[in-house]
Structure 1
Amino acid sequence: MDHSTSPLPTTMSMCHLVAMPFPGRGHINPMMNLCKLLISRKPEILISFVLTEEWFGFIESDPKPDNICFRTIPNTIPPERLKAADFPGFYEAVMTKMEAPFEQLLDQLEQPVTAIIGDIEVRWAIGLGNRRNIPVAAFWTMSISFFSMLYHFDQLSREGHSPFDLLERVDYMSGISSLEMADLKTVFDKNDQRVMQLALDCISRVPKSQYLLFTSIYDLESQVTNTLRESLSFPVYPIGPAIPYPELKRKSSGSNSGDKADPDYIQWLDSQPEDSVLYVSLGSFLSVSSTQMDEIAAGLRNSGVRFVWVARRDASRLQEICGETGLVLPWCDQLRVLCHSSVGGFWSHCGWNSTLEAVFGGVPILTFPLFLDQYPNSNQIVEDWKIGWRVKRELGTENFVTKEEIADLVQSFMDLDSDEGKQLRNKARQIRDICRKATEEGGSSVINLDAFIRNISQKHCH
């Protein structure tokens, strides 16, 4: 179904991309940000952005360029509210029930399709594009390092070994470091095996795509990107961070603007000392138990550290426990908060989009992984980039973190005068500068965006 508010031009020479995100917030947002970046580089591109009817209802009023047109397919998968209750069932439904309505939609489009940008985790986009002779740019919304781990692991498991047996028996594999093997074992141990099997199946199809797009930044994952480029026969483009950084320029930068039109939480941040506020957000999908939430609330209160905490379900209840030291909100403009001068730390579940936003803001991270790639992301933050600490020291423990541990940790983490605190913040600023340079003219991400556009325009536009 066409949900455009104005008719799209139908000039045959225009590039018409069809974007198919996985139906989840952590996938739709970076796909939309990618589409906006592409249009910022080549304004005449047309993009059909495909959503389920449910997701169209969630985001139809979000601002976007006129030449991004929403198209919808029926709700063939379980509702968003049931996703956390049965994620394996939801994941499988995306891979088995969305392909037919998507293909029907392609048949109804007036404009010839230049290329499909397909989220790797919808699984069927690459095969469908190949079948219809439409080039596919496979789109990955997690780190390049995590993709590489799964890709090399899948290649080895296709030599006749069960992936789960391989993990039990082998401590080293070609292309996967011992640290990455430990990460993989954690990921497989802590996630449903059906989900992991489906994820590997998605990865196995990538070599049949025509392009590979990453939301990451080449300069932060250069070695693993180079290795992948050597093993894949088509262009690999890190175009990140696929976060709404261009929109920051249209808003106040968060450095004490004092604009009365700003939300209350921005005005509150404006009144706080530099680097004094801890931002807390544990993601929009899986969350922690209510017991753990209460311990976090009590720990934050007892620490005496100022904070802004986004807790979607329980904001008012948690605000009562927390008292007056900070704000508990159901939602905020996360990137704007992380780039605010008074924010000096981020307690995060380590979802990749949140990680990129923290990197862009130059904010050190307290890592609290809950799911899938968040465990290796935590290691990348702490071990590789050295811009964070772990909340839980032992990955295998199931016990919650107590309010006493939280109060002590938060106080230490937000101590701006300690040597550790100074080193952490200096390193976070260095990584921020690398990230931001990539998004400027002549930076690696801009060069990659332009190369991708040039490639599809020359090869596939009529």
Structure 2
Amino acid sequence: MGRPHVMVIPYPAQGHVLPLMSFSRYLASQGIQVTFVNTEFNHNRIINSLSKSSRDDHVVDGIKLVSIPDGLDDSPEERNVPGMLSESVLHFMPTKVEELIERMISETSGAVISCFVADQSLGWAMEVAAKFGIRRAAFCPAAAASMVLGFSIQKLVYDGLIDYDGTPNVNKTIQLSPGMPEMETDKLVWVCLKNKDSQRNIFQLMLQNNKSIESTDWLLCNSVFELEAAAFEQSPKILPIGPIGLAHHSLEEGSMSLGSFLPEDRDCLDWLDRQIPGSVIYIAFGSYGVMGKVQLEELAIGIELTKRPVLWVTSGGDQPPMRVGSGQVIVVKWAPQREVLLHRAIGCFVSHCGWNSTLEGVQSGIPFLCIPYFADQFINKTYICNVWKIGLGFEQDERGIISRLEVKRKIDEIMRDNGEFKKRAIKIKEIVMKNVVKDGISYENLNKFVNWIKTEVN
């Protein structure tokens, strides 16, 4: 019996690449050969962020890194528009993936891929794999509730809540099933991009994905059953395997950042070592962080008013207007977030509520302060604040701005001495950790998937 070979392809954005890379590292640790397909643009960023000793032959941790073009130029103006990327993903990349598979087959004189694992956002990849008779699995790097929302699109149209192109017909709060997080129609995943072209592209991608995913052998989700039981019960085909970053937590920490588009600033860990336990405000808004100048200033001043130490990651936005260098504030471009959140010095996490950040905060037992701005982040915020009750949102003033006094008030509340948010966060952490050890739901689902790959090798 030959060694199984899995091809993995993420949606070309940082928040999708990282969990699929963690998944690939887990598969490689189980003796499975992995080929990881990035766009050329992202592939080059990942290679450049690695140490020189890790770049040889583009094979890292037993994972072969390969690339395909995405049809976009390298200008930030084009690449920072989510709708532009989605259009490329929908119309340009499928042919390139097909050509890559054909090339791999011809170079080895026969089929070499046991299974094709594609980001759930790339439904067309399932169709490409089916053309070659390759078994396939879809991987959702977001919450199961986000996937259930996608599956519910036709019903939302039928009920008159949204138009055929995804535009809301009414502004109201909806709940897809009892126990699921409430959602506002003007903040649905595809709506809150605030751009008609972007909305249309994302919506079309989701519609196509619904059809393509029906033919998958597996539908895996980087989540935990108990965290969103209602969503998993609504769509039983979705199998929780998360948090996938914990599946290989026994591996060496040195390559935990594989898949990062930017090199990590590890000096901030030394700085954290010098801080009082539970005292530091950690601020990070992901790789797409976008905040207006006025809001950024109010946030910075509000945080300064707390007189607490701050670690601020600026990868996706402008430099915060804070007095850096006093020892009270440290600003970095990109941080080893998993290690930061596990550090004893961290007291709370001011976050955009991307799903990766949400899971990393949850598995570290850290309370949140939430500033979502698009896509699934509003669903995640609802989980954090209303379902799990381990964080707070901010109220906006009449200008639509979170004021400096509101920032100070909420930080003081979340870090108050009685620690109610912290106590609940620790309980949620215990639930999560129970799932990734032997007999846990996520552990068992991962095991079943790996065994399926190994037993189905021709």
TM-score bucket (shorter structure): 0.7 to 0.9
User: Counterparts of 1:36 and 1:166 in 2: how far apart (Å)?
Assistant: 39
Paired position in structure 1 for 2:335: 332
* Cα 1:20–1:165 shift into 2, 3 Å: closer
Q: Residue 442 of structure 2 aligns with which residue?
A: 445
Contact 2:302/2:406 (<8 A) preserved: yes
Instruction: Tell me the distance in 1 between the aligned counterparts of 2:253 and 2:62.
Output: 22
The one-letter code matched in structure 2 to 1:226 is E
Which residue identity lines up with residue 143 of structure 1 in the other structure?
A
User: Partner residue of 2:217?
Assistant: 210
The CA distance in 1 between the partners of 2:151 and 2:246, in whole Å, is 28
CA apart distance, 1:37:
1.6
CA distance in 2, matches of 1:170, 1:287: 24
Which of residues 388, 393, 396 is equivalent to 1:390?
A: 393
The 3 A distance-change label for structure 1 pair 277 and 249 is farther
**Residue matched to 1:23:** 12
Q: Tell whether the 8 Å contact from 1:171 to 1:178 is kept in structure 2 after alignment.
A: no
How far apart are the structure 2 equivalents of 1:172 and 1:307?
Answer: 35
1:190 has 2:187 as partner: no
8 Å contact from structure 2 (residues 174, 184) kept in 1: no
2: distance between equivalents of 1:178 and 1:433? 21
- Quote how far apart the aligned CAs of 1:238 are: 1.2
**Shift in CA distance, 249/336, structure 1 to aligned 2, threshold 3 Å:** farther
Contact 2:278 2:344 in 1 (8 A): yes
Q: Per-residue deviation at 1:134?
A: 1.4
**What letter matches 2:187 in structure 1?**
T
Q: Which amino acid aligns with 1:222?
A: A
Q: TM-score when scaled to structure 1?
A: 0.84
User: Partners of 1:178 and 1:251 in 2: how far apart?
Assistant: 37
1:300 Cα offset (Å): 1.3
Counterpart of 1:47 in structure 2 is 34
| 1:237–1:452 CA contact under 8 A, matched in 2 | no
Q: Give the distance between the partners of 2:286 and 2:175, measured in 1 at CA.
A: 33
Aligned-pair RMSD on alpha carbons?
A: 2.9
Partner of 1:136: 136
Superposed displacement of residue 401, structure 1: 1.4
CA offset at residue 381 of structure 1? 0.6
Which residue of 294, 298, 314 maps to 1:295? 298
Work out whether residues 237 and 449 of structure 1, in 8 Å CA contact, stay in contact via their aligned partners in 2: no
Quick one: distance in 2 between partners of 1:246 and 1:178?
31
TM-score (norm 2): 0.85
**Which residues in structure 2 correspond to 1:411-426 (within 5 Å)?**
411-415=412-416, 417-418=417-418, 422-426=419-423
> Counterpart of 1:280?
283
SS at match of 1:124: helix
The 3-state SS of whatever aligns with 1:168 is: coil
Cα contact 2:181–2:383 (8 A) shared by 1 = no
Count of matched residue pairs: 428
Give the alignment of 1:40-439 within 5 angstroms: 40=29, 42-43=30-31, 45-60=32-47, 62=50, 65-79=60-74, 81-82=76-77, 85-109=80-104, 110=108, 112-154=112-154, 157=157, 162-163=163-164, 167-168=168-169, 175-176=176-177, 182-187=183-188, 189-191=191-193, 192=195, 193-205=199-211, 206-229=213-236, 232=237, 236-243=238-245, 246=248, 250-251=252-253, 263-312=266-315, 318-320=321-323, 324-392=327-395, 399-415=400-416, 417-418=417-418, 422-439=419-436
Instruction: Note the C-alpha offset of 1:132.
Output: 2.2
Cα shift at 1:249? 6.6
Relative to structure 1, the CA distance from residue 455 to residue 308 in structure 2 (aligned partners, 3 Å threshold; closer, same or farther) is same
> Any idea what the Cα deviations from partners look like across 1:181-208, whole Å, max 9, x if unmatched?
6334422542343144224324422212
Specify every segment of 5 or more residues in structure 1 that has no aligned partner in the other structure, as ranges: 1-11, 253-261
1:362-389 C-alpha deviation (Å, 9 max, x unpaired): 0010011011100111001111111000
Structure 1 residue 444 displacement after superposition: 1.6
Distance across 2 between alignment mates of 1:342 and 1:196: 39
In structure 1, the partner of 2:457 is: 461
Residues 367 and 270 of structure 1: CA distance in aligned 2, closer, same or farther (over 3 Å)? same
Distance 1:152 1:32 in 2: 29
Given that 1:437 and 1:443 are in contact with CA atoms closer than 8 Å, whether structure 2 keeps it comes out as: yes
* Residue-by-residue CA offset, 1:407-461 (whole Å, 9 max, x unaligned): 222222222x14xxx2211110011111112112222211111111122333x31
Aligned-pair distance for 1:178? 9.8
